[in-house]
Amino acid sequence: AQSVTQLDSHVSVSEGTPVLLRCNYSSSYSPSLFWYVQHPNKGLQLLLKYTSAATLVKGINGFEAEFKKSETSFHLTKPSAHMSDAAEYFCVVSVYGSGNTPLVFGKGTRLSVIA
Amino acid sequence: NAGVTQTPKFRVLKTGQSMTLLCAQDMNHEYMYWYRQDPGMGLRLIHYSVGEGTTAKGEVPDGYNVSRLKKQNFLLGLESAAPSQTSVYFCASSYDGGSTYEQYFGPGTRLTVT
């Protein structure tokens, strides 16, 4: 079975400083990994995904994530935070070749950006 | 494309009442999903469907039923609502169930059971 752990429930950064949201996964197979963002009172939007191609994945709005198999991690980063980045972020894992297995969500990290 | 739409956006029920949430997608996706979101819990899968006429249980299926009579629609039913079902419900769809395919989410339905 696969699982995902988001190591911080809340991260607070100042505008213009780097963002790091941490995610560790557990999977018996080669996983696909996703980061989704949810702005207040909105649905979820895909930021980026890793599907066994390049280990450094670039997403929308300047976010990127690096897949590190040896560390079973998929941390999300952004060089410079913007006020509009304040939202809830979810790390998600899916297992390659598992057929109909739905996605497994982490519990989320709330990002606050201080002016 | 409207994408994934959900009806209604808000609802308040009394304990024991029933209701149906409707999810519709216009992307010709095979797979559809119902999740609930509770504070500090992330999203948890209730039921899902891998195609018209099929349904399957997810992580938290008790107290809910679903139907997929048409490919574009996925209905979530609560036969006898309980306060523990107060939550935000999200519907999602994907082209395929393969792990590389992203899910597209609706805007959510906020349900309160008193």
pLDDT tens string A6-27: 999 999 999 999 999 999 998 7
Mean pLDDT confidence for A85-104: 76
Residue, of A102 and B10, whose pLDDT is higher:
B10
Q: How far apart are CA A90 and CA A44, in angstroms?
A: 9
* For residue A64, pLDDT beyond 60: yes
Least CB–CB distance from B108: residue in A9, A43, A108:
A43
β-pairing, A109-114 vs A10-14, is parallel
Task: Note the pLDDT of residue A101.
Answer: 53
Instruction: Centre a 10 Å sphere on the Cβ of residue A41 and count the other Cβ atoms it contains.
Output: 9
Query: Are the beta carbons of A94 and B48 separated by less than 8 Å?
Result: no
Which of B34, B59, B99 should we substitute to test contact with A (largest number of A Cβ atoms within 10 Å)?
B99
d(CA B114, CA B106): 25
Nearest to B102 among A49, A90, A102 (CB): A49
Residues in A touching B44 (Cβ below 8 Å): 105
Task: Check if B39 contacts A (Cβ < 8 Å).
Answer: no
Report chain B (114 residues): mean pLDDT per 10 consecutive residues: 91 96 95 92 90 91 96 96 97 79 90 97
Q: Is the pLDDT of residue A39 over 90?
A: yes
Between A105 and B86, residue with greater pLDDT: B86
Give the minimum alpha-carbon distance from A79 to chain B in angstroms, rounded to a whole number. 25
pLDDT on residue B97:
66
Q: What is the pLDDT of residue A78?
A: 98
